[in-house]
């Protein structure tokens, strides 16, 4: 993916009296597929993460974002106190994710090498060249194609190098095509089975066009009825007072 014709979306992270306000500069592409821009369901989840209640889901945790696109949601998790953030998407999004890490985590490319150097040889072999980590592995971008066994194993192995820490998985606006729904559910189930102390925050827009309503029902049914996962809706009154909408839900998925 060429990073030509880009534009910046500034996202305010207002932490109120309890922290320092900051602004994320999110690079987006004028043309390209859906992950090239930050979606409304992504904004709603991102803004929920900066509320007092939302922050508790990620503070001190290892965070994995699935279908991250620009990486804005995971980067917001880092700014509110996640210990380690791993942004994942299809391989073609890695340059955009790395650029957004670089824009917002204030680092340079030499940091990539030094950060990767602290990883033991065993993990380097698993990770190959697709991971870029900064500040001792605190924010990284990695290919995770849903349902791809190798990618899922790589993600789990990447986390294994750190001391065991609860994991929060973020998924924003990723339920939108039939094959993708099944693969996303497989990935979620795999991560629940492979990691301990996992919770997932997933946001989606209630769309009426085409088969979007059925796809959402399929996603929720697979999680609940096939895999016995517990789904809890975050009440709208707990979301960010401005960035919330009756058309967008955030669910917590747990075991
Ligand atoms: C609608 S975009 C949402 C992007 C971002 N989460 C947001 O809210 O702004 C959906 C994302 O899912 C990713 N995606 C779709 N199919 C995927 C797959 N099979 N494996 C991994 N990521 C996938 C896309 O590349 C894209 O970044």
Helix H or strand E segment including 238: none
Give me the pLDDT at residue 132, please. 54
Task: List all residues 6 or more positions away from 210 whose beta carbon is below 8 Å from its beta carbon.
Answer: none
Whether residue 39 has its Cβ less than 6 Å from ligand 1: yes
Count Cβ atoms within 10 A of the Cβ of residue 172 and give its class: 0-12 exposed, 13-18 middle, 19 or more buried: buried
Percent of residues, the chain, with pLDDT higher than 90: 62
**H, E, C per residue of 124-169:** HHHHHHHCEEECCCCEEEEECCCCCHHHHHHHHHHHHCCCCCCEEE
Q: Give the number of the atom of ligand 1 that is nearest the alpha carbon of residue 68.
A: 6
Helix H or strand E segment including 205: strand 198-205
Whether 195 and 160 have beta carbons less than 8 Å apart is answered as no
- Examine the pLDDT at 15 and tell me if it is beyond 70: yes
Whether residue 204 has its Cβ less than 6 Å from ligand 1: no
Query: pLDDT per residue over 86-132, tens digit each?
Result: 999 998 898 899 889 888 876 433 334 344 444 444 444 444 434 55
Whether residue 132 has its Cβ less than 6 Å from ligand 1: no
CA of 67 to the centre of ligand 1 (A): 4
Give me the pLDDT at residue 37, please. 92
- Examine the pLDDT at 252 and tell me if it is beyond 90: yes
Mean of pLDDT values over 73-77: 96
CA of 179 to the centre of ligand 1 (A): 13
Whether 204 and 216 have beta carbons less than 8 Å apart is answered as yes
Q: How far apart are CA 198 and CA 184, in angstroms?
A: 16
pLDDT band with cut points at 50, 70 and 90 for residue 71: very high
The model's pTM? 0.92
Whether 174 and 66 have beta carbons less than 8 Å apart is answered as yes
Fold designation for 6-254: Rossmann fold (3.40.50)
**Tokens 């999004």 belong to which residue?**
93
**In the chain, where the domains are located:** 6-254
CA of 68 to the centre of ligand 1 (A): 6
Whether 224 and 33 have beta carbons less than 8 Å apart is answered as no
Whether residue 90 has its Cβ less than 6 Å from ligand 1: yes
């Amino acid at each position: 993916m060429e990073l030509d014709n880009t534009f910046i979306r500034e996202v305010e992270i207002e932490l109120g009296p309890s922290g320092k306000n900051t602004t994320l500069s999110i690079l987006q592409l004028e043309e390209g597929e859906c992950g090239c821009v930050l979606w409304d369901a992504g904004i709603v989840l991102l803004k929920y993460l900066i509320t007092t209640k939302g922050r508790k889901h990620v503070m001190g945790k290892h965070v994995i974002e699935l279908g991250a696109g620009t990486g804005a949601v995971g980067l917001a998790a880092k700014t509110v106190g996640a210990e380690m953030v791993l942004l994942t998407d299809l391989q073609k999004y890695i340059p955009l994710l790395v650029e957004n890490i670089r824009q917002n985590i204030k680092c340079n490319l030499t940091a990539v090498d030094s950060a990767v150097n602290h990883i033991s040889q065993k993990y380097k072999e698993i990770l190959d060249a697709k991971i870029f980590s900064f500040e001792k592995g605190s924010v990284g971008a990695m290919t995770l194609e849903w349902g791809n066994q190798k990618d899922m194993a790589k993600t789990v192995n990447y986390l294994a190098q750190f001391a065991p820490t609860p994991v929060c998985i973020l998924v924003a606006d990723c339920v939108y095509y039939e094959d993708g729904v099944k693969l996303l559910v497989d990935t979620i189930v795999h991560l629940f089975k492979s990691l301990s102390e996992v919770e997932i925050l997933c946001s989606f827009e209630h769309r009426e066009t085409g088969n979007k309503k059925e796809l959402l029902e399929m996603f929720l049914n697979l999680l609940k009825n096939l895999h016995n996962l517990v789904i809890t809706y975050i009440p709208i009154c707990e979301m960010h007072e401005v960035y919330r909408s009756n058309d967008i839900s955030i669910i917590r998925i747990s075991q």
